[in-house]
């Protein structure tokens, strides 16, 4: 006899939406969240496309801080590329509020929720039919206790050691991100994000300024690889960066946010009695670092396989392997292309980045970017631009082949 059919470790978007999908089928599922509040501590900028609302089945207006239609992109030498999507292309979420809405949805569907409960240890029997025994620390018992389940789903984020301890491969790369919410920003365009590229900003990524609901509040952040100077120092230096300082001249920090982003496809996101979803499974867009959309897409697949496993009473590695192919069929090709695009991006010199942005900075090409640009599927615009602008091919002869023939 098991305490639950399914235990989900982690109460972020991936874990919460997986719980909702499973609970809707009447299966006994509980979410264990180590923190005492859903959505906190906040670790994410919350920039998503409206597709996210199609997945969760509603548009929680209380969680929407701003709607964005375009981007101002600054090359290393200061060339400004203005991309205007004309209509809403991205939404800035209050991630804490959004996560709370996902939690409410899961509870309405029948999922249980235990806050302040951390998974400390997982033990499996010799046979998958024996399920998993999970040691948790919880405020309720003022100590540790064991619970049992047929299936454990790890939605524990990118920093958790649990997936590694249970035989799940690590991500190829981990980026460190830091973000500051500022008040008193200047010169913001309310519906445009400001993006800054180049080695003086962040060698392996880019910096951003994302306007919030207030006209002078914005999120300012960037990511760096582990080999670089720490992200906090880089963000602080943006106040002196020639093309960013006009926005930050009078700005005052309101709060500080930090997190990590896993990059690279993981070859196995399942094991006996175990499924892994979201950042813990490296289901993150390699080029932009966004993980909400990809996590929610994968959560639907994770929930479906969990349902099938419970109904079949089969929690073997072999049976659960179908999860790998199901989520890869949904987002694998785009993630693989994103890895190739990131490989191209991180190997560009500042001079090459300047040249690329100068090439595309003309009305007809900007119109193409406006029409086909998509932060969920960046390979679409990449393929279009490589076809329409032969000059760009010199930057990516090998990458182009990988983009065209990427397989799951």
Euclidean distance between CA atoms 118 and 139, whole angstroms: 10
Distance in angstroms (rounded) separating the CA atoms of residues 54 and 18? 15
Cβ neighbors of 160 (< 8 A, separation 6 or more) are: 10, 154, 280
DSSP string, 250-271: T-EEEEEEEEEEEES--S--EE
Cβ proximity of 136 and 147 under 8 Å = yes
Residues 267-295 pLDDT 10s? 999 999 999 999 999 999 999 999 999 99
| SS3 state at 214 | coil
> What is residue 392's predicted lDDT score, i.e. its pLDDT?
84
Encoding tokens for residue 298?
């994968």
DSSP string of 41-88? S-----EE-THHHHHHTS--GGGEEEEE-EEEEE-TT--EEEEE-SS-
Q: Length of the chain in residues, anyone?
A: 408
CATH node for 4-45+96-171+266-331: 3.50.50.60
Residue 164 pLDDT > 80: yes
Q: What is the per-residue pLDDT for 148? A: 97
Predicted pLDDT at 113: 97
**What pLDDT does residue 403 have?**
52
What percentage of the chain's residues is helix, strand, coil (to nearest 5)?
Answer: 40, 25, 35
With contact defined as beta carbons under 8 Å apart, do 399 and 344 qualify?
Answer: yes
Any idea which residue has 């991309």 for tokens? Answer: 83
| Look-up of token digits 């990524």 | 205
Q: How confident is the model over 107-150, as pLDDT tens digits?
A: 999 999 999 999 999 999 899 999 999 999 987 666 789 999 99
| Lowest-confidence segment of 195-199, 232-236, 239-243, 395-399 by average pLDDT | 395-399
Give the pLDDT confidence of 19-46 residue by residue, as tens digits. Answer: 999 999 999 999 999 999 998 887 777 8
pLDDT at 210: 97
Tens digits of residue pLDDT in 359-405: 999 999 999 999 999 999 999 998 888 888 888 888 876 555 555 44
Is the dihedral angle over the CA atoms 331, 333, 337, 340 positive or is it negative? positive
Q: What is the pLDDT of residue 36?
A: 92
**What does the pLDDT read at residue 213?**
83
| Confidence category of residue 241, pLDDT binned at 50, 70, 90 | very high
Mean model confidence pLDDT for the chain: 92
Q: Average pLDDT for residues 313-321, to the nearest whole number?
A: 98
pLDDT surpassing 80 at residue 162: yes
Domain ranges of the chain: 4-45+96-171+266-331, 66-93+173-263, 337-404
Q: What is the mean pLDDT of residues 233-260?
A: 94
Reported confidence tier of residue 227, pLDDT bands at 50, 70, 90: low
Determine the pLDDT at residue 175: 92
Name the nearest CA neighbour of 320 among 277, 270, 246, 262.
Answer: 270
In CATH, the architecture of 66-93+173-263 is: 2-Layer Sandwich (3.30)
The closest of 257, 260, 300, 297 to 280, measured between CA atoms, is 260
Phi/psi-derived region of residue 326, left when phi > 0, alpha when psi is between -120 and 50, beta in every other case: alpha
Interhelix angle 397-404/333-346, rounded to 10 degrees, is 170
- Mind giving me the DSSP string for 263-298? ES--S--EETTEEE-GGGGT-S-TTT---HHHHHHH
Cα dihedral 388, 394, 398, 400 in deg (nearest 10): -10
Q: What letter does residue 315 receive in the DSSP assignment?
A: -
Question: What number is the average pLDDT over the span 233-256?
Answer: 94
Q: Which residue has the higher pLDDT, 142 or 250?
A: 250
Cβ–Cβ under 8 Å, residues 371 and 86: no
What proportion of the chain, given as a percentage, has pLDDT over 70?
95
> What number of other Cβ atoms are within 10 A of residue 209's Cβ?
24
Q: What's the confidence (pLDDT) of residue 386?
A: 85
Euclidean distance between CA atoms 22 and 237, whole angstroms? 46
Whole-model pTM: value is 0.94
- Among 183, 324, 159, 178, CA closest to 248: 183
């Amino acid at each position: 006899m098991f305490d639950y059919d399914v235990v989900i470790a982690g109460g972020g978007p991936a874990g919460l939406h997986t719980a909702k999908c499973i609970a809707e089928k009447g299966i006994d599922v509980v979410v264990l969240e180590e923190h005492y509040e859903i959505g906190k501590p906040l670790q994410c900028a919350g920039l998503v496309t409206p597709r996210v609302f199609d997945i969760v089945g509603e548009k929680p207006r209380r969680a929407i801080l701003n709607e964005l239609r375009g981007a101002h992109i600054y090359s290393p030498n200061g060339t400004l590329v203005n991309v205007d999507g004309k209509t809403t292309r991205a939404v800035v979420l209050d991630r804490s509020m959004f996560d709370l809405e996902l939690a409410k949805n899961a509870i309405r569907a029948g999922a249980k929720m235990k806050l302040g409960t951390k998974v400390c240890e997982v033990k499996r029997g010799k046979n998958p039919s024996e399920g998993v025994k999970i040691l948790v620390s919880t405020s309720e018992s003022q100590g540790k206790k064991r619970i049992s389940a047929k299936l454990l789903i790890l939605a524990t984020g990118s920093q958790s050691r649990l997936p590694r301890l249970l035989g799940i491969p690590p991500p190829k790369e981990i980026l460190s991100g830091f973000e500051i919410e500022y008040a008193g920003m200047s010169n913001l365009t309310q519906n445009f994000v400001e993006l800054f590229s180049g080695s003086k900003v962040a060698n392996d990524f880019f910096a951003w300024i994302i306007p919030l609901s207030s006209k002078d509040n914005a999120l300012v952040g960037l990511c760096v690889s582990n080999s670089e100077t720490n992200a906090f120092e880089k963000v602080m230096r943006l106040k002196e960066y020639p093309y960013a300082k006009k926005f930050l001249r009078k700005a005052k920090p309101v709060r500080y946010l930090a997190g990590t982003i896993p990059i690279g496809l993981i070859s196995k996101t399942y094991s006996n009695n175990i499924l892994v979803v979201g950042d813990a499974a490296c289901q993150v867009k390699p080029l932009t670092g966004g993980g909400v959309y990809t996590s929610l897409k994968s959560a639907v697949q994770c929930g479906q396989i969990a349902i099938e496993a419970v109904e079949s009473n089969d929690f073997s590695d072999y049976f659960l392997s179908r999860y790998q192919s199901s989520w890869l069929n949904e987002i694998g090709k785009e993630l693989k292309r994103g890895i190739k695009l990131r490989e191209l991006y991180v190997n560009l010199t500042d001079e090459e980045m300047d040249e690329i942005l100068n090439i595309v900075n003309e009305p007809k090409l900007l119109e193409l970017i406006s029409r086909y640009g998509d932060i969920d599927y960046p390979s679409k615009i990449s393929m279009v631009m490589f076809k329409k602008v032969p000059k760009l091919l010199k930057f990516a002869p090998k990458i182009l082949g990988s983009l065209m023939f990427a397989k799951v």
